[in-house]
Amino acid sequence: MRSTFTLGRIGGVKVGINWTVLVIAGLITLSLAGGILPATVEGRSEVEYLVGGIIGALGLLVSILAHELGHALMGRRHGLKVDSITLWLFGGLAQLEGELPSARVEAKVAGIGPAISLFVGVVGIGAAFLIGTTTLTGALVGWLGLVNLVLAIFNLLPGAPLDGGRLLHAFIWGRTGDRHRATRSASNAGRFIGFGLIGIGLLEFLLGSVVGGMWTATIGWVLVTAASAEARHSATESGLDGLTVHQLMEPMTSVPDWLVVEEFVLRYVVPSRQTVFLLTGFDGRPSGYVTLKDLSKVGQDDRLIQPVRRYARSLADVPVVSPTEPAKGIVSARQAVVSPVLALVVEGGDPVGIITRRGVSAAIERARLMEDIRRNRG
C-alpha cells in the first residue's frame, strides 16, 4: 500500500496517506453529521453537526495514527527499521523491516497498538460521562472512545495479519521455539477469521444491511489474502533454510546480444533447455536477459533482421548475489517483484547463473525430498 501524499514525519517516522482514506473520512463525517450526532444531541444546526462530523473523522484518523506510531516506535526501540506509516482504507499500516529478535519483542511491538487504542477508548468513554453525553463535545468524545474500543478488540482477534495474530505468533514461537510453525498457525487462524468475516458479511447482506455487509466481507477478504500470502512466504522461507544461492541457481553462460533473433534461436535456444538467456554486449559485459516467451513473440520479418538485444530486459533492478550466500532473504526481499529473474549470480566479476522463481521452488522440492530420504534411512 503506497501513500498518495506524505503528511510529514513524527518522531522520525514518515507518515503518509493513501487516497482511499479520504473515502473513509468522508463516509465517517457523513454518518456522524447525518445520523449519529443528531440522534444523540438534539436541536443543533446542520453546520454544527457537520463540523462535529469532520472533527470526529479527524479524531479517528489521529487515534489510528497513534496506534500505528505505537507499533513503529516500539519496533524501532528494538532495532527494527521503520520505513513509514501509511493510513489507508482499512486503517493504518506501519512498515517495519528487519528480523524480530525474539518472541518477547514481537509481543511488545504487536501489543502496544491495541493497548493504545484501548487506552484512548477507556479515556474517551470516561471523559464523555464527565462532560455529559448530551453535549456535542461529550457525544463526539464518547463516540471516539467507543470506536477505539472496537478497534482494539478487532485488532486483538488472534489471526495474522492482525495484532492479535502477531501475539498468537509470539506466544507459539516463545513456547515451541519454532518460528515457521508459529507462522503457519497464525496465518491459518487469520484465514479462518477472514472467512468467518466473509460469512458474517454475507449474512448482514442477506438481512438487508447492504453496505455494512459488503464492508465486513471485504475486510474478511483482505485478511484471507494477507494471511495466505504470509503462509506462502513462510513456507518458502522454511524451505530455503540452510540452502545456499548455489543450490538454487540455474547455471548459465551469457551469450552474444548482437546476433539476429533467428540465428540466436538456432544457435542457443534450440539446443538448450533454458527458458531465460543472459546476454553479453560487445564489451563483454552482461547487457540484459531475454526469455523464451519474449523470443516467441518476435514477428517473422523482425526475426531475420533485429538483433536479440532489442528484446532484452534490463538487469538494472535485478539484485546481484554470490553463489556462497545463504538463499534465505533473496526471495523474501524480492517477492513483490514480478520479474522472471529474481537475482543474478556473479562470481569473481562474471555472471555464472540466474535465480528464477521456478529454480527456487525446484530447490525447495529437492531439499524436501533429500530430507525425507535421510529421515527414512534413519
User: Catalytic residue numbers?
Assistant: 68
* 112 vs 125, beta carbon nearer Zn ion: 112
* 36 vs 189, beta carbon nearer Zn ion: 189
Query: In what side-by-side order are the strands of the sheet with 91-97?
Result: 5-10, 13-17, 81-88, 91-97
163-176 and 103-131 helices cross at what angle (nearest 10)?
140
* 53 vs 113, beta carbon nearer Zn ion: 113
3-state secondary structure of 101: coil
Residue nearest to Zn ion (CB): 113
Which stretches of the chain are DSSP H helices?
20-31, 37-40, 46-77, 103-131, 136-155, 163-176, 179-206, 210-240, 245-248, 261-264, 292-296, 300-305, 330-333, 357-376
* 52 vs 161, beta carbon nearer Zn ion: 161
* 113 vs 256, beta carbon nearer Zn ion: 113
Beta strands 286-291 and 276-280 are antiparallel
Give bridge partners of residue 355 from the DSSP assignment: 343
CA distance 171 to 193: 18
Quote the least distance from Cβ 142 to Zn ion, whole Å: 23
Quote the least distance from Cβ 319 to Zn ion, whole Å: 31
Cβ atoms within 10 Å, residue 18: 17
Quote the least distance from Cβ 12 to Zn ion, whole Å: 19
CA distance 67 to 117: 6
CA distance 61 to 157: 21
Cβ atoms within 10 Å, residue 61: 18
Grid look-up 465486513 returns 216
Determine the straight-line distance between the first and last CA of the chain, rounded to whole angstroms: 48
* 163 vs 204, beta carbon nearer Zn ion: 163
Quote the least distance from Cβ 232 to Zn ion, whole Å: 22
| Nearest Cα residue to 107 out of 183, 169, 65 | 169
CA distance 39 to 41: 6
* 52 vs 220, beta carbon nearer Zn ion: 220
Quote the least distance from Cβ 282 to Zn ion, whole Å: 54
Quote the least distance from Cβ 375 to Zn ion, whole Å: 40
Using CB under 5 A as the criterion, which residues of the chain lie in contact with Zn ion when the complex forms? 113, 163
Quote the least distance from Cβ 160 to Zn ion, whole Å: 12
